[in-house]
Amino acid sequence: MLRGLLSVLVFGSALLHIRAEYKGPRVYVYLFKPLTMVFIILLALQGERPDASLYKYAILAGLGFSLVGDIFLMLPLKRVIEGLVSFLVAHLCYIVAFSANIRFSFSSFLLALFLLYVIIMFAVLFPHLGKMRLPVLVYELVIVMMVWRAVERWAQIGDTGALLALAGAILFVISDSAWAINQFVRRYKSAQALILSSYFCAQWLIALSV
């Protein structure tokens, strides 16, 4: 019951934030983006896994660093490096969570697929990155590692939680890719709707996986 109520609050707050990005007022942007993440963190805290679960602690840490990254990126003078570092740490936390209690293995097909994504994205972004080339490359490698661990978790465990985590990881890649193109290559009108809807859904699904 409480998880359902928190999910309603997540989507209500997320919609208000997305609307504010297009219609204003700007104060709603500053209010509803962190508030949405607070609701998502509260949702993860209601997870059914034991309180001592490494998975739960790592997911909560990842959500917390994501909240910090959101704050950096929505400041009037965006702190892109600080935001990227915060989300990089968040993805590392998710990697720890998705790797909990599973064995190390990988598919050469998946590895090739993930590397292809990194190559294509980096090729698109490269001419526009300047001094950001190395940080963005490291970030792209870490996020595909996060998806890889989510795939492996679902393949080995196969429960609903693992499937939710995998769906969230994939949506995170979609959100981050859209953000990178909008930030570094070319601004487009639908950017905020695509970036934020996929981002909030990703975090919501990851929180539900706890």
How do the domains of the chain map onto residue ranges? 2-208
Give the chain's count of helices (H) and strands (E).
8, 0
By C-alpha distance, which of 210, 99, 207 is closest to 156?
A: 99
Angstrom distance (rounded) from CA 39 to CA 34: 9
Q: How confident is the model over 98-104, as a mean pLDDT?
A: 88
By C-alpha distance, which of 172, 185, 73 is closest to 121?
A: 185
For residue 158, how many other CB atoms are within 10 A of its CB?
Answer: 10
State pTM to two decimals: 0.92
pLDDT of 189: 83
- Reported as a single tens digit per residue, the pLDDT across 2-29 is 888 999 999 999 999 999 999 989 899 9
pLDDT at 110 exceeding the cut of 80? no
DSSP state letter for 119: H
DSSP state letter for 91: H
**Confidence class for position 49, pLDDT limits 50, 70, 90:** low
**Mean of the per-residue pLDDT values of the chain:** 91
